[in-house]
Amino acid sequence: MKTYTDLNTPARLLLGAGPSTVHPRVLKAMSHPLVGHLDPQFLVVMNEVQELLRYVFETENQLTIPVSGTGSASMEASICNFIEPGDEIIIGVNGYFSERLCDMAERYGGVVRRLDKPWGDVFSREEIEAELKKKPAKILALVHAETSTGAMQPIDGMGELAHQYGALFLIDCVTSLGGVPVKMDERGVDIAYSGTQKCLSCPPGLGPLSIGERAREVLHHRKSKVKNWYLDLTLVEHYWGDTRTYHHTAPISMNFGLREALRLVQEEGLENRFRRHQENAEILWAGLEEIGITPLVPLAHRLPSLTTVRVPEGVNEAEIRKQLLQEYNIEIAGGLGALAGKVWRIGLMGYSSRKENICTLLGALRNLLS
Amino acid sequence: MKTYTDLNTPARLLLGAGPSTVHPRVLKAMSHPLVGHLDPQFLVVMNEVQELLRYVFETENQLTIPVSGTGSASMEASICNFIEPGDEIIIGVNGYFSERLCDMAERYGGVVRRLDKPWGDVFSREEIEAELKKKPAKILALVHAETSTGAMQPIDGMGELAHQYGALFLIDCVTSLGGVPVKMDERGVDIAYSGTQKCLSCPPGLGPLSIGERAREVLHHRKSKVKNWYLDLTLVEHYWGDTRTYHHTAPISMNFGLREALRLVQEEGLENRFRRHQENAEILWAGLEEIGITPLVPLAHRLPSLTTVRVPEGVNEAEIRKQLLQEYNIEIAGGLGALAGKVWRIGLMGYSSRKENICTLLGALRNLLS
């Protein structure tokens, strides 16, 4: 019979589109001995995770939870609980993950009204309002931080706008939460989903999700049962609510890890953390420019947590990534979908966003491209 | 602002219905530094997890994967990929989790043909065949190990029977996999799902799932798209298949942990592990009898991994569990659904199934009940 060695994966510097490098304190928390999922002491941990998630989302929303799956599960929870057959949803489509939102909405019988733009672009208030004006929609969905393009969609005032036309405002903040201000309540966001493995620097496996009261009302007045049992918030809200009624067994160790990752965010302070992400991104951009590598997205809406750059002409995109990984143990990401083969995606997220990491990457790129 | 301490949950002995106590080697693997989810070295880990899962399922099924959610997500994957609107499914309903199967099947438009029996009972071959004979069904679903009752459904020959009538054979082996023989291929099981936190003694967060070729053919000939994006095996099979096409980000640390948990199973050997579970269960049963506690399920179909016992008359069920937890740091479980308040559920699963743990529990129960 085949035998298996101890885990011996190499020590990688994770500067791709996520996962980011995990802080040693979070790794330690992941190895904390288990307690049961209904143990009073685990209920304390659940409460703390929820409080800390509210802190990073900047929300008072009671229904703020880590979905027991990755960011994509949290994305699906945002759709399947609010879209019933025939419901109209306006989706700003300017990258891979907004395409995914369309796919999911259609699976639940939603009527998708696409607003298309080239990948890397963002939507103006006027463009959104023009579509909202046409006829009522149940949801307006925008990707705050497009992980496939590195574009940051301005969302100030968008919640108010959506509400003016009777729509809920939903955002993808997978690559912004904990690295870039999300300010859920201030911006009138009704539904926001994220992942743990980006700017929170926790391993992948949970999907932070926050649901505002306006959206919760809609949930409670559905005409039909949610089609998805595992992500059915009318059930899940009781496990993560006052009664703590068993629904499924929460991923206990993942919640231990997330608690520690969020505690690190709180210790640093959100404002300091946002500033660190912005300052380090600027150092990276300047350094990349020096070696002739230009970002895809204009400065005005460039995401600090994830930078997409054009692969210089004549350079073999995949080969350089392979060399970075094999020779330098550095991971960066290639392009997805329409951008495959054309771009690299460089993440400076959470614990990965450190000056020393930028030196390491720029040094390696200099060597490989010279 | 509220501050949060280091994790300081008490050291619990987990003898409930799962999670079971996690082996220190698995906890260590959980804290292994991350590599990316598409890193060639992570692809090696994925392959190894799949090989080891095939070993515990005793199957050659290529599509054998850890679903990126808990056992309930794996259960839902077993339903949503194979049930299309109008499809008939026969479900043996004799406990909490078979009820859940009915709920899920209905959400996906399935026509559920319930076979009802009192909780704790199991189905005979004749009872199953009588229902199969009535008219064709797409799936026959049975719960091999009912976590709510502690009953073990005999499944020898059931696969052949289902196939004879043109149905796929689906089993829940959440509380049997790795502790009681599942023998998927030998028994003609087409779809089997499980969880990691029971007899595999890995933290909760992944749902082992194995799909046979017959079921895979059915999947590939669906008339409609799978309604659930996250669990859509027509997409997931490519990420866990030859092309390793990105679908979602696998929970990397959880897979590190599962690999180590499975490695421990392999080192012990399946047969030795089954014997250990059986022998320790018998020691527990004898010890319980000595203090006047009787199992709910007759010996003939009593599960070794989870024993359900009647709470002795005049004893406050919840109070004793509370004292066990608070005074002795021992977790056992109460009853679910129809059995709430009437039974305790005592798990000897995976790393929890050790003689010393039985002594600890029996000693504590003796003290509390005297």
Give the model confidence (pLDDT) of B152-186 as tens digits.
Answer: 999 999 999 999 999 999 999 999 999 999 999 99
- In the predicted structure, residue A148 carries a pLDDT above the cut 90: yes
Tens of pLDDT, residue by residue over A55-73, are 999 999 999 999 999 999 9
Q: What is residue B288's three-state secondary structure?
A: helix
Q: For residues A285 and A348, give the distance between their C-alpha atoms in angstroms, rounded to a whole number.
A: 11
Radius of gyration of chain B (CA): 21
Residue B338 is predicted with a pLDDT of 85
* Pairing of β B168-172 and β B191-193: parallel
For B12, nearest residue in chain A (alpha carbons): A35
Chain B within 8 Å of A235 (Cβ-Cβ)? no
Of B29, B103, B108, the CB nearest to A7: B29
For A247, nearest residue in chain B (alpha carbons): B72
How sure is the predictor about A110, in pLDDT bands with cuts at 50, 70 and 90? Answer: very high
Tens of pLDDT, residue by residue over A194-238, are 999 999 999 999 999 999 999 999 999 999 999 999 999 999 999
Q: For residues A81 and A86, give the distance between their C-alpha atoms in angstroms, rounded to a whole number.
A: 14
Cβ-defined contact of B227 to A7 (cutoff 8 Å): no
| Contacts of residue A326, Cβ cutoff 8 Å, sequence gap at least 6 | none
Cβ-defined contact of B249 to A197 (cutoff 8 Å): yes
How sure is the predictor about B54, in pLDDT bands with cuts at 50, 70 and 90? Answer: very high
- In the predicted structure, residue A242 carries a pLDDT above the cut 90: no
| Contacts of residue B359, Cβ cutoff 8 Å, sequence gap at least 6 | none
- Closest by CA to B148, choosing from B97, B74, B199, is B97
How sure is the predictor about B210, in pLDDT bands with cuts at 50, 70 and 90? Answer: very high
Q: Which helix (H) or strand (E) holds B161?
A: helix B158-164
Cβ-defined contact of B263 to A4 (cutoff 8 Å): yes
Quick check: pTM over 0.90? yes
- Domains, chain B, with CATH or none: 13-19+269-369 (3.90.1150.10), 24-266 (3.40.640.10)
* Pairing of β B207-211 and β B191-193: antiparallel
Of A3, A19, A76, the CB nearest to B37: A19
- In the predicted structure, residue B242 carries a pLDDT above the cut 90: no
Cβ-defined contact of B204 to A9 (cutoff 8 Å): no
| Contacts of residue A316, Cβ cutoff 8 Å, sequence gap at least 6 | none
Chain B within 8 Å of A28 (Cβ-Cβ)? yes
Contacts of B4 in chain A (CB under 8 A): 48, 52, 259, 263, 266
- Average pLDDT rounded to a whole number, residues A138-162: 97
Tens of pLDDT, residue by residue over A69-80, are 999 999 999 999
Contacts of B17 in chain A (CB under 8 A): none
Integer angstrom CA distances of residue B313 from B284, B292, B293, B339: 20, 10, 10, 15
Q: Report the range of poorest mean pLDDT among A3-7, A162-166, A243-247, A349-353.
A: A243-247
Q: For residues B69 and A73, give the distance between their C-alpha atoms in angstroms, rounded to a whole number.
A: 9
- Average pLDDT rounded to a whole number, residues A301-316: 97
- In the predicted structure, residue A99 carries a pLDDT above the cut 90: yes
Residue A158 is predicted with a pLDDT of 97
- DSSP code, position B16: S
Contacts of A1 in chain B (CB under 8 A): 266
Tens of pLDDT, residue by residue over A169-200, are 999 999 999 999 999 999 999 999 999 999 99
Residue B1 is predicted with a pLDDT of 81
Contacts of A12 in chain B (CB under 8 A): 33-36, 39
Residue B337 is predicted with a pLDDT of 87
Contacts of A204 in chain B (CB under 8 A): 37, 249-252
Give the dihedral sign, CA A210/A212/A218/A221: positive
Chain B within 8 Å of A227 (Cβ-Cβ)? yes
- In the predicted structure, residue B97 carries a pLDDT above the cut 90: yes
Residue A1 is predicted with a pLDDT of 81
Contacts of A9 in chain B (CB under 8 A): 32-33, 35, 39, 41-42, 45
Cβ-defined contact of A76 to B252 (cutoff 8 Å): no
* Pairing of β A168-172 and β A88-93: unpaired
Chain A within 8 Å of B56 (Cβ-Cβ)? no
Put residue A32 in one of left, alpha, beta given phi > 0 → left and psi -120 to 50 → alpha.
Answer: beta
Interface of A with B in 239-298 (CB under 8 A): 246-254, 256-257, 259-260, 263, 266
Chain B within 8 Å of A334 (Cβ-Cβ)? no
Measured over all CA atoms, what is the biggest interatomic distance in chain A, rounded to whole angstroms? 66
Residue B45 is predicted with a pLDDT of 97
* Pairing of β A343-347 and β B13-14: unpaired
A50 vs chain B: nearest CA distance in angstroms?
Answer: 13
Tokens of B297: 């399920």
* Pairing of β B13-14 and β B330-331: parallel
